[in-house]
Structure 1
Amino acid sequence: MASSVVHLPALPAVLTHAQAESYLAQCRAALDAAAPVAAVQVDASALHEFDSSALAVLLALRREALLRGAEWRLVGLAQRARVLAGLYGVAELLTG
């Protein structure tokens, strides 16, 4: 297995339904361009305005990382986003 980490584009400050498809496409392109990796990491520290679409994007990226045999890493997720993830029952999936 590869020992590298691919750092996907950081989450933008705003990630709602309007931005979700574009951001997901950017990340998928980055994954497709990357060699096999041991881990996929996303930095969520800039995210401050979001809706449930942000969670859907993160879950899709997690799924793609795991399908590639890579570890999923999400860093910097704000407490408000963690609470929303908890309400949807997906907090453990996002943060490991």
Structure 2
Amino acid sequence: MAEVVLSGDGKLSVEGSINFNNVATVVEQGIALFNHDNLVIDLARVTEVDSSAVSMLLEWQREAGRRNHRMGFANMPQNLRGLAQLYGVSELILQA
């Protein structure tokens, strides 16, 4: 199970496996913590992904845009980067 964690310094990180079974919950957890501009979400602790993780990143970016916030992703795992390239959306996913 994946979890979105807010650190003491206000940064978000995602930990665990993201898949079709839990992606909706992870998306909601993340959006609930979108409380400031220039948000960076650290993905270093993501262990496994399927294609639903790509949609999660895109949805988070759309939500940040709706709130007029800038955001990006740091430490994207290679397997997630590969899926984004496979689906032709890697240029749409903003790196921090």
TM-score normalised to structure 1 length: 0.79
C-alpha displacement of 1:55 = 0.7
Equivalent runs, 1:1-96 vs 2, <5 Å: 7-8=11-12, 10-31=13-34, 34=35, 37-96=36-95
C-alpha displacement of 1:29 = 1.5
Alignment: residue pair count: 87
C-alpha displacement of 1:21 = 1.0
More strand per residue: 1 or 2? Answer: 2
Amino acid at match of 2:24: E
- RMSD of aligned alpha carbons: 1.8
In structure 1, list runs of 5 or more residues that go unmatched.
Answer: 1-5
Amino acid at match of 1:92: E
C-alpha displacement of 1:74 = 0.2
Instruction: From the CA coordinates, give the structure whose radius of gyration is larger.
Output: 1
1 CA distance for matches of 2:37 and 2:30?
Answer: 16
Contact 1:39–1:65 (Cα < 8 Å) also in 2: no
TM-score normalised to structure 2 length: 0.79
Regions of 4+ moved over 2 Å: none
Q: Secondary structure at the match of 2:60?
A: helix
C-alpha displacement of 1:24 = 1.0
More helix per residue: 1 or 2? Answer: 1
Contact 1:15–1:49 (Cα < 8 Å) also in 2: yes
Higher relative contact order (CA 8 A, sep 6+): 1
